[in-house]
Amino acid sequence: MALLAWAIRAVRGRWVWAVTIAAEAALLLEVVLGVVVESSGRYAAADFHMFYGFVAFLTVGLAYQYRDSFRGGRNAPAWRTAEMFYGLVGLFLMGLGIRAVIEGL
């Protein structure tokens, strides 16, 4: 959605950020729940499955930390916008999620 908002200015708005925040919050909740389940001792996840979860957790934190670096001003190049940055981060997180599910099977 963020990449669509980057490409088409008419699509931009608060709803893009609301969906992005909801998706990243759901991912963080999933990682926290995975840690709780793993630490309970009732389930043992594959090592790479946990690795992908922690990389996703760190990616969300780093994306939030660097969000101000990609706020495009009036004269900023088109690639230096928050929509493109969060769109690419979303694609990376999607890839991590797919890979983590495949590793967990």
Read off the pLDDT of residues 7-60 as tens digits, 9 standing for 90 and up: 888 888 899 889 999 999 999 999 999 899 989 988 888 888 889 889 999 999
CB 48 within 8 A of CB 101: no
Q: Go through 39-49 and write b for each residue having 16 or more CB atoms within 10 A of its CB, e for each that does not.
A: eeeeeebeeeb
Read off the pLDDT of residues 65-75 as tens digits, 9 standing for 90 and up: 987 777 666 66
Q: What is the pTM of this model?
A: 0.81
